[in-house]
């Protein structure tokens, strides 16, 4: 089954409004001349989202994402931002379950599940991240870890029509180490098989599954050319317009 590629930039704790404007000034003209069909997403820090949305007004090629949200709708939760607020300022996607949220901020599968539901309730799309540590991979726990993250993160969610899954081996994020194309394909195929077990084969065939973990222009073509890899969630290489566009260019080959 043919699935559209979705290539997303995760800027993490980088780029205030001024830096984002400079990036888009360089990036948008390249995209306008780009013949590829990949969906493009920019995940900006909360304070940068409104300016990115304003600069992309009328641009149907590039969507805007938030990097996180609260599972709560409103109330006494100082420092939190709800999915409804992010919808109001123009976000279309929200990243959930990123390894940095899991490991640094202690987010559980149950919390991530609640966030996925809150996002879907607002008509937005989660980019739902899963992935194993090097210790878990070397200890033979890859499949059990991913199965638990998928099963618990998607608990009581009936449809995956508006969910993107991003498989990110934790040991390859920001390290410069990348899973081989064969390793990534094998794991993404396993993820799709779990979706088939939880839902059905039709759902598994349709859901977009990105790869993340030191994706850069030089390896994007091979990685994104794999049968079960439907795009990339890009960190460091998405901070420069030329680098991020290079990934898009190579994904189309």
Just list the catalytic residues.
98, 168
Helix (H) or strand (E) holding 164: strand 164-167
218-237 b/e with 16+ CB inside 10 Å = b? ebbebbbebebbbbbbbbbb
What are the φ/ψ torsions at residue 237 (nearest 5 degrees)?
-75, -5
Tallying the residues shown for the chain, one arrives at 253
Segment holding 93, helix H or strand E: strand 93-96
Write out the two tokens for 76.
Answer: 């006494």
Of the candidates 140, 139, 167, the one whose C-alpha atom is nearest the C-alpha of residue 153 is 167
Residue 166: what are its φ and ψ, rounded to 5°?
-125, 115
Contact 93, 62 (CB under 8 A): no
Are 167 and 127 in contact by the 8 Å Cβ rule? The answer is no
Other C-beta atoms lying within 10 Å of the C-beta of residue 147: 17
């Amino acid at each position: 089954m043919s699935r559209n590629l979705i290539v997303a930039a995760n800027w993490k704790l980088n780029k205030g409004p001024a830096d984002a404007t400079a990036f888009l000034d360089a990036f948008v003209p390249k995209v306008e001349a780009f013949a590829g069909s990949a969906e493009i997403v920019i995940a900006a820090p909360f304070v940068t989202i409104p300016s990115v949305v304003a600069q992309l007004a009328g641009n149907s090629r590039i969507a805007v994402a938030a990097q996180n949200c609260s599972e709560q709708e409103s109330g006494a939760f100082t420092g939190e931002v709800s999915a409804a607020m992010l919808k109001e300022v123009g976000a279309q996607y929200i990243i959930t379950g990123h390894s940095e949220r899991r490991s640094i901020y202690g987010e559980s599968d149950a919390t991530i599940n609640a966030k996925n539901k809150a996002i879907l309730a607002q008509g937005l799309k989660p980019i739902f991240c899963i992935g194993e540590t090097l210790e878990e991979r070397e200890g033979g726990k890859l499949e059990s870890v991913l199965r638990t993250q998928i099963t618990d993160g998607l608990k009581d969610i009936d449809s995956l029509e508006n969910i993107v899954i991003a498989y990110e081996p934790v040991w390859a994020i920001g390290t410069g180490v990348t899973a081989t194309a064969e390793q990534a394909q094998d794991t993404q195929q396993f993820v799709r098989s779990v979706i088939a077990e939880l839902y059905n084969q039709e759902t598994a065939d349709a859901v977009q599954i990105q790869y993340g973990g030191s994706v850069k222009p030089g390896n994007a073509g091979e990685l994104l050319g794999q049968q079960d890899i439907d795009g990339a969630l890009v960190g460091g290489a998405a901070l420069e317009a030329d680098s991020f566009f290079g990934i898009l260019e190579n994904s189309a080959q």
